[in-house]
């Protein structure tokens, strides 16, 4: 059974935030006016979180790129009253915008705070509008959105593979963040397929998951040598 997942090597991450930018442009994520962003209303499906360790000037930074964890046991789906968010057979946690009623239960249930509410309708300048990705919807005001592991890319890759009469390869389906990462810190693939790099990497002794004790079983693994 396919279980799409991600391994992020924190020892390689430089905190450049290319993944954030790539994600925003790939997924038509609206920019929010700065005053609203100060109120915590900015949307960032992929966010580079920073952990500061030690006292200045002897401090170090640890960056944690944080997408949706696509948990195997997602707390967001159990609270959704309309099944707008659900987990599919391949372990992807979907968010169906036309079905979402904007109650924000899921955003509050998510311990990783990856779910974002659209407080406003998206506003695009004329030049931005021309660059919108036609494979991804533009979310209206009043719905929750989150990282989809660039699911639309999976569909395109499947379609291309079928048209060429071959099976789907690991490199066919890569989310925008993994594709753009300059240090190759983000690795994406099928966690249950021994031929995929992630299957091996998740067994690495450095591997850990965020808030593992909650039992959400996230499918995003972090590799970190510093304890």
Partner 1 sequence: MIEQPLPPGGPGARMTGVSGARSRVWRYVGVGLPLLGLLVPVLLVAVRRPAVSQPIEFNHLKHTKDLQLDCQFCHEYVTSGAHSGLPAADKCGICHQVPQGESAEAARVTELLTRGDPLQFNKLFRLADHVFYTHSRHVGIAKLECERCHGGIATTERPPKRPLVTITMDYCISCHRETGQSVDCVTCHR
Q: Applying CB under 8 A, which residues contact partner 1?
A: 86, 88-89, 92, 94, 96-99, 134-137, 148, 151-152, 155, 159, 162-163
C-beta of residue 218 within 8 angstroms of C-beta of residue 71:
yes
Q: Which residue has the tokens 């060429």?
A: 164
Taking the complex as a whole, how short is the minimal distance between the CB of residue 160 and partner 1, in angstroms? Answer: 9
C-beta of residue 77 within 8 angstroms of C-beta of residue 69:
no
CB half-sphere exposure, 44, CA atoms < 13 A: 16
Taking the complex as a whole, how short is the minimal distance between the CB of residue 94 and partner 1, in angstroms? Answer: 4
Which CB atom, from 18 or from 150, has the smaller least distance to partner 1?
Answer: 150
Which CB atom, from 15 or from 94, has the smaller least distance to partner 1?
Answer: 94
Which CB atom, from 135 or from 179, has the smaller least distance to partner 1?
Answer: 135
- For residue 57, say if its preceding peptide bond is cis, omega within 30 degrees of 0: yes
Which CB atom, from 96 or from 211, has the smaller least distance to partner 1?
Answer: 96
Taking the complex as a whole, how short is the minimal distance between the CB of residue 164 and partner 1, in angstroms? Answer: 11
Which CB atom, from 94 or from 102, has the smaller least distance to partner 1?
Answer: 94
Taking the complex as a whole, how short is the minimal distance between the CB of residue 209 and partner 1, in angstroms? Answer: 24
Gap between the Cα atoms of 24 and 6, Å rounded: 18
C-beta of residue 65 within 8 angstroms of C-beta of residue 46:
yes
Helix-strand-coil percent breakdown of the chain, rounded to 5? 25, 20, 55
Taking the complex as a whole, how short is the minimal distance between the CB of residue 151 and partner 1, in angstroms? Answer: 5
Gap between the Cα atoms of 111 and 211, Å rounded: 8
Other residues' Cβ atoms within 10 Å of the Cβ of residue 83: 11
Gap between the Cα atoms of 51 and 115, Å rounded: 21
Taking the complex as a whole, how short is the minimal distance between the CB of residue 170 and partner 1, in angstroms? Answer: 20
Adjacent-strand bridge partners of 186: 8
Which CB atom, from 13 or from 150, has the smaller least distance to partner 1?
Answer: 150
């Amino acid at each position: 059974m396919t279980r799409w997942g991600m391994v992020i090597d924190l020892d390689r991450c430089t905190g450049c935030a290319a993944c954030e930018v790539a994600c925003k442009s790939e997924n038509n994520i609206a920019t929010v006016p700065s005053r609203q962003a100060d109120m915590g209303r900015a949307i960032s499906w992929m966010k580079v979180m920073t952990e500061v360790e030690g006292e200045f000037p002897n401090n170090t930074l640890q960056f944690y790129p944080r997408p949706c964890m696509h948990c195997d046991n997602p707390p967001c789906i159990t609270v959704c009253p309309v099944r707008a968010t659900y987990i599919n057979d391949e372990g992807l946690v979907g968010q169906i915008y036309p079905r979402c009623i904007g109650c924000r239960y899921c955003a509050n249930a998510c311990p990783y705070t990856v779910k974002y509410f659209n407080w406003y309708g998206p506003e695009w300048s004329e030049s931005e509008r021309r660059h919108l990705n036609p494979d991804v919807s533009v979310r209206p005001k009043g719905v929750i959105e989150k990282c989809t592991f660039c699911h639309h890319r999976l569909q395109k890759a499947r379609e291309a593979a079928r048209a060429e009469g071959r099976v789907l390869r690991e490199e066919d389906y890569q989310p925008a963040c993994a594709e753009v990462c300059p240090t190759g810190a983000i690795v994406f693939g099928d966690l249950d397929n021994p031929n995929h790099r992630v299957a091996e990497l998740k067994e690495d002794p450095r591997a850990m998951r965020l808030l593992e004790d909650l039992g959400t079983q996230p499918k995003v693994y972090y590799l970190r040598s510093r304890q």
